[in-house]
Amino acid sequence: MKTIKLFGLLSLVLMVSACAPEVGSEAWCASLDKKDMGDWSANESLDYAKHCVFK
């Protein structure tokens, strides 16, 4: 039973992480443009500046 739960959890994590665009891609920059700047994390702000502003 533990193996089934672990496999299910691992599958869920892989499915969710596969949906997010790669950091620095055009899709990622566009998704942050739509997101309120107050909701950005510190890492998102730094990555946005690095990949979307100072290309």
21-46 pLDDT per residue, tens: 899 999 999 999 999 999 999 999 99
Query: Measured between alpha carbons, how far is residue 46 from residues 29, 42, 51, 53 in Å?
Result: 12, 6, 9, 10
Position 3 in a domain: no
pLDDT for the residue numbered 33: 96
Rounded mean pLDDT, 2-11: 81
Instruction: Report d(CA 23, CA 1) in Å as an integer.
Output: 36
Q: Which domain holds residue 27?
A: 22-55
pLDDT for the residue numbered 9: 78
Give the type of residue at 18: A
Position 45 in a domain: yes
Share of the chain above pLDDT 90, in %: 60
What single DSSP character describes residue 24?
Answer: T
The answer to whether residue 17 scores a pLDDT higher than 70 is: no
Position 54 in a domain: yes
Total structural domains in the chain?
Answer: 1
pTM (predicted TM-score): 0.63
